[in-house]
């Protein structure tokens, strides 16, 4: 079995387990034919514990944005030190401000992993300078451009042919720069910009012990 097929099956399995489609995992349709959990017992209705419900909500964030648990915990710790707003709002704003996420939300990549790959391969510039770290944070006023090589990459062409998201969020704008697109960060993203159903309270409860 090819890595591509395995990756697709794994992504579908994750989404079926969580009962939701996560755009960041790529191709849509995980719940179309089997809108229930994976495995032979997936169709059975079972009562979930409060812990499991909170865990699943946290997992939505982790899998959509493609980050490890340790990274997420460290980010939660930093966000809790910011007293300007609820820490979970700061968390989502930080995740939405990541360069790899911005590339995905612009429909320049078919998945979050593909967006991260484009960044790491040097296909993306921020304010005219190449940035190869997917977790780099962009801010209001930053201009995002794609290199000529990036505009010819399989990831970009696939995303343009079959956009994963129906529209880009309001905090981003795009326009043509000759034959290529360029984008600008128009405002700070809002927690409401997260592109899937999400209950903040459950994540707050899951990480309540983290200081």
Question: Residues 37-91: pLDDT tens digits?
Answer: 544 444 455 688 999 999 999 999 999 999 999 999 999 999 999 999 999 999 9
Kindly state the DSSP code that residue 78 receives in the 8-state scheme: H
114 neighbors 154 (Cβ within 8 angstroms): no
Whether 202 maps to a domain, the answer reads yes
pLDDT exceeds 70 at position 8: no
pLDDT-derived band of residue 30, with 50, 70 and 90 as boundaries?
confident
Q: What is the pLDDT of residues 137-195, one digit of tens each?
A: 999 999 999 999 999 999 999 999 999 999 999 999 999 877 788 999 999 999 889 99
Q: How many domains are contained in the chain?
A: 2
According to the model, what pLDDT value does residue 202 have? Answer: 97
103 with 69, same domain?
no
Indicate the pTM of the whole model: 0.87
172 with 130, same domain?
yes
pLDDT-derived band of residue 3, with 50, 70 and 90 as boundaries?
very low
Picking from 121, 166, 116, 124, the residue whose alpha carbon sits closest to that of residue 147 is 124
202 with 182, same domain?
no
57 neighbors 198 (Cβ within 8 angstroms): yes
Whether 211 maps to a domain, the answer reads no
Picking from 150, 92, 104, the residue whose alpha carbon sits closest to that of residue 123 is 150
In whole angstroms, what is the distance from residue 164 CA to residue 66 CA?
A: 16
Classify strands 124-126 and 129-130 as parallel, antiparallel or unpaired: antiparallel
According to the model, what pLDDT value does residue 45 have? Answer: 56
According to the model, what pLDDT value does residue 43 have? Answer: 45
Whether 91 maps to a domain, the answer reads no
Whether 93 maps to a domain, the answer reads no
The residues near 167 (Cβ < 8 Å, ≥ 6 apart) are none
Range of the domain at 35: 3-83+196-206
Whether 88 maps to a domain, the answer reads no
In whole angstroms, what is the distance from residue 124 CA to residue 155 CA?
A: 13
184 with 111, same domain?
yes
According to the model, what pLDDT value does residue 177 have? Answer: 74
In whole angstroms, what is the distance from residue 211 CA to residue 208 CA?
A: 8
146 neighbors 123 (Cβ within 8 angstroms): yes
Classify strands 129-130 and 172-177 as parallel, antiparallel or unpaired: unpaired
108 with 172, same domain?
yes
Whether 66 maps to a domain, the answer reads yes
| C-beta atoms surrounding 88 within 10 Å | 20
Q: Which residues pair with 133 in a beta bridge?
A: none
Q: What is the pLDDT of residues 105-136, one digit of tens each?
A: 999 999 999 999 999 999 999 999 999 999 99
29 compared with 135, residue with greater pLDDT: 135
pLDDT-derived band of residue 31, with 50, 70 and 90 as boundaries?
confident
């Amino acid at each position: 079995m090819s890595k591509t097929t395995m990756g697709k099956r794994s992504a579908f399995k994750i989404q079926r387990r969580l009962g939701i489609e996560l755009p960041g995992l790529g191709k849509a349709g995980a719940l179309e034919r089997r809108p229930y959990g994976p495995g032979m017992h997936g169709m059975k209705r079972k009562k979930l514990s409060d812990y499991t419900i909170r865990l699943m909500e946290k997992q939505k964030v982790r899998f959509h944005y493609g980050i490890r648990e340790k990274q997420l915990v460290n980010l939660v710790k930093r966000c809790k030190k910011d007293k300007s707003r609820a820490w979970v709002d700061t968390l989502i704003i930080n995740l939405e401000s990541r360069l790899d996420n911005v590339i995905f939300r612009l429909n320049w990549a078919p998945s979050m992993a593909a967006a991260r790959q484009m960044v790491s391969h040097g296909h993306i510039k921020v304010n005219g300078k190449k940035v190869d770290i997917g977790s780099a944070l962009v801010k209001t006023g930053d201009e995002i451009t794609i290199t000529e090589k990036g505009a010819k990459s399989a990831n970009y062409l696939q995303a343009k042919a079959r956009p994963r998201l129906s529209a880009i969020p309001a905090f981003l704008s795009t326009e043509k720069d000759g034959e290529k697109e360029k984008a600008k960060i128009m405002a700070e993203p809002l927690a409401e910009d997260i592109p899937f159903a999400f209950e903040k309270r459950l994540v707050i409860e899951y990480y309540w012990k983290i200081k």
